[in-house]
Structure 1
Amino acid sequence: MAVLTDEQVDAALPGLDGWERSDGALRRSIEFPAFLDGIDAVRRVGEHAEQEDHHPDIDIRWRTVTFVIVTHSEGGITDKDVAMAGDINRIVG
Structure 2
Amino acid sequence: MKLSSKEIKNRLSGLNGWKEENSTLMKTYRFPSYMDGVRFVERIAEAAEEANHHPDLLIRYGQVEVRLTTHDVGGISEKDFQLAQVIETLTG
TM-score (norm 2): 0.97
Q: Output the amino acid matched with 1:19.
A: W
2:89 aligned residue: 90
Deviations 1:40-63 (A, max 9, x none): 000001001011100000001111
Gapped regions of structure 1 (runs ≥ 5): none
How much identity, in percent, do the aligned residues show?
Answer: 36
1:4 aligned residue: 3
Query: Structure 2 CA distance, aligned partners of 1:14 and 1:87?
Result: 16
Q: Output the amino acid matched with 1:38.
A: G
Q: Does the alignment pair 1:26 with 2:42?
A: no
1:40 aligned residue: 39
Q: Output the amino acid matched with 1:66.
A: E
Tell me the CA shift for residue 73 of structure 1: 1.1
Gapped regions of structure 2 (runs ≥ 5): none
2:59 aligned residue: 60
Aligned-residue RMSD, C-alpha: 0.7
Q: Secondary structure of 1:29's partner? A: strand
Deviations 1:3-37 (A, max 9, x none): 00000000000111110000111000011011111
